[in-house]
A and B are shown apart, each in its own frame.
Chain A
Amino acid sequence: DIQMTQSPSSLSASVGDRVTITCQASQDISKYLNWYQQKPGKAPKVLIYDASNLETGVPSRFSGSGSGTDFTFTISSLQPEDIATYYCQQYDNLLSFGGGTKVEIK
């Protein structure tokens, strides 16, 4: 099974800050990684698919990069509506998720 190590588990940043979350796979997953945003009581919403593709309708302040085992998710300028928990997910070999990153406003 592929293990996804996501960090940090939580962070606090100011509005306008650049926020970065990383996800490391226990083996090569090529580009088969998605990033999700989840707000309380809601289903996860896909933001980035295949490591770097921005889902239609998602603001351009969200971006993703990486391939192989190391991936990065970035919010270029944190907004109040970005308060949520973010998850990475690999689908190269079955499925597995990172543990999540809870993003709060400082």
Chain B
Amino acid sequence: EVQLVESGGGLVQPGGSLRLSCAASGFVVNDNFMSWVRQAPGKGLEWVSLIYSGGTTYYADSVKGRFSISRHNPKNTLYLQMNSLRSDDTAVYYCTGYTVTGPLWGQGTLVTVSS
């Protein structure tokens, strides 16, 4: 079965750090362009970061300099390292992959930034 499974969300204080993971099965992370998308409570979908198959990375202005996207080939896993977290980073974070047969989404992981 082709799927993406996120983990690593939780409650963190402002200024803290968190690393999200996205484990892929039936799908090779390295061969496709992958992204992180988030959704704040009651809001729409917001693109956060992406990595193309060649390794080039991009970030939304709202997270540039604080978040870092990476992938680990042997584990077929995508990561999002989030530093200097702020209250407006509170959201459900989704891992997504884009293939020739359409996009894939994980179930999401909730990140809450609060003291």
Contact = CB atoms under 8 A, between A and B. Distances in A.
* Size bracket of the B interface: 10 to 19
A29 interface: no
A96 B46 CA distance: 7
Interface residues of A, number: 19
Interface stretch (A16-24, A60-68, A86-94): A86-94
A24 B58 CA distance: 23
A44 B94 contact: yes
A95 B50 contact: yes
Contacts, number: 43
A3 to B, nearest CB: 12
Contacts of A89: 45, 103
A95 B94 contact: no
Interface string B47-76: 100100000001000000000000000000
B81 interface: no
Interface in B1-45: 33, 35, 37, 44-45
Given A49-B102, A49-B103, A95 B44 contact: no
